[in-house]
Structure 1
């Protein structure tokens, strides 16, 4: 009953007490938003630009990102900066981090916002990982850890002494209790598990990574959170059938609502004290999904992630 109530309360949240207008001035702050060319990512960039942040629009498609940057320029009068990032290719992730570090010494806020939801089961990453786990978890892990020197430097130069990493998860994290490491690469077990369960597993992975990253680097000024942005009308639904989209459309909110929770974690004064917390719509701290409460599982995931990128 507790799980059902939690899911319902997140699907139909109360009015937010935090709004875009509450974001403080971000002059001098350097920010990266992954998956920033569309949906929640684009709305997040818009709010950050409106509050004077220097924002890197990290996306796989340069054409789509540049169109988004032009749209945002027209809306805010400010310029985002394109950063090529393909989270489904570990070598590409490394190249993207190196490109950023060649331009910036400090990173104050990282929004690990990009994600893939229920693609066809035959879709995998360049290195043959499950597309959802490889993109949502492994790609973001590698990108974040490569950027760690800039995050630590960003923490030192921030007024509150903190750099923030906000990891976009989902209410789907409540439907996975563990990580089956036999299903995160392109195996028969993976295909048997099914794309919906693989999605939930990847969203649990986002929370576990956020917790473990925050535990390891809190003493260096890192604040790592994970969020459920809410049920939103976005490009994430592109792999759903027409029937599925029609069925869920009535309970979906505009993407501007979805940006609120991660902006709260990433920019508000309160967010500086939220290391290891899970936030739900709209901008509310909540209990961790049950599968994310085992620190041993977080350590196991971290060890596995380290092993995957050791020879990239």
Structure 2
């Protein structure tokens, strides 16, 4: 693959060429354990469906037991196979901890972690249980903590995987190009509210790319492949906080069916070729791209990792 650097990235990636990758190309995943956050709907649901079709043992992580049960029933009807529910609210560090403990009580290895869940443009007043901006707390901090807690299982899977790797695939977006990191906005305050919900969303997606690259740097020599992806402009529940008129226009002009949205992360999580792209950013549909230049700034990555680690350590200390 050649890196796509032409034109204005957000515009160019909104109108990608016809996909060359199809889920039918995914290798058999018998004996492999896969976990998908936000697996009850949208791109996460499609990812669960394809992984079940290719014989993986799939954990569907979601907040709502009722919505998860409906999704699991639908997946079983479509694939003949049953996903396993894992209760997870990424907006609560206590829930993240409990979910990781629950998973590790059942499984010793995790071959693919799809950090797929996210929240987009909620009301500005909404915060996480622990007082962080809801979008940053859910999309970045929650997934960071969850991944770190599950790293032991990922490292075990490296030893049992046929290709000698385990993978962490993080769903970002084209919004990663539209903002950088503003540490004073991670928690509530005047600067956060001034940025607004859209800017906070773009910041969180930028943060996803930075942390995915940091995971690759820190764990790559131990067999962990970490890739962030822009899934494309997709029709999902993620736009539920948009005004009705805006949703109608987007669906008519810009957004693609949800099946397209899973292509890039499925490629990253399953295909042999993706092993070459540790720390990289993939764009629609399953092509190698280039993220915002600041995503490759090592000082920024170190600072964000240290900040997240510090918040997690403070949470752990409060629980002790």
Q: TM-score, normalised by structure 1?
A: 0.98
The 1-side partners of 2:20 and 2:183 are apart by 39
In the other structure, the counterpart of 2:153 is 150
Equivalent of 2:61, from 58, 65, 74? 58
Unaligned runs of 5+ in 2: none
Judge conservation of contact 2:6–2:12 (CA < 8 Å) in 1: no
The 2-side partners of 1:169 and 1:65 are apart by 23
Judge conservation of contact 2:109–2:157 (CA < 8 Å) in 1: yes
In the other structure, the counterpart of 1:262 is 265
The 2-side partners of 1:87 and 1:287 are apart by 27
**Deviation of the 1:280 alpha carbon:** 0.4
**Is 2:198 the partner of 1:196?**
yes
* Number of residue pairs the alignment of both structures matches: 310
The 2-side partners of 1:307 and 1:243 are apart by 42
The 1-side partners of 2:249 and 2:50 are apart by 31
Equivalent of 1:223, from 222, 225, 230? 225
**Deviation of the 1:9 alpha carbon:** 2.3
In the other structure, the counterpart of 1:82 is 85
The 2-side partners of 1:273 and 1:58 are apart by 28
Give the RMSD, CA atoms, in angstroms: 1.0
In the other structure, the counterpart of 2:307 is 304
In the other structure, the counterpart of 2:212 is 210
The 2-side partners of 1:170 and 1:287 are apart by 12
4+ residue runs of structure 1 moved beyond 6 angstroms? none
Q: How does 1:272-287 map to 2 (within 5 A)?
A: 272-287=275-290
Q: How does 1:8-157 map to 2 (within 5 A)?
A: 8-157=11-160
Secondary structure of 1:182's counterpart equals helix
**Deviation of the 1:298 alpha carbon:** 0.6
Judge conservation of contact 1:160–1:272 (CA < 8 Å) in 2: no
Secondary structure of 2:8's counterpart equals helix
**Deviation of the 1:247 alpha carbon:** 2.7
**Deviation of the 1:169 alpha carbon:** 0.1
In the other structure, the counterpart of 2:169 is 166
The 1-side partners of 2:7 and 2:47 are apart by 29
* CA shift in 2, pair 1:200/1:3, >3 Å: farther
Judge conservation of contact 1:30–1:108 (CA < 8 Å) in 2: yes
For 1:175-227, what per-residue CA distance to the aligned partner results, in whole angstroms no more than 9, with x for missing partners? 11x31111010112111110110000000000000000110000110000000
Unaligned runs of 5+ in 1: none
The 1-side partners of 2:195 and 2:7 are apart by 23
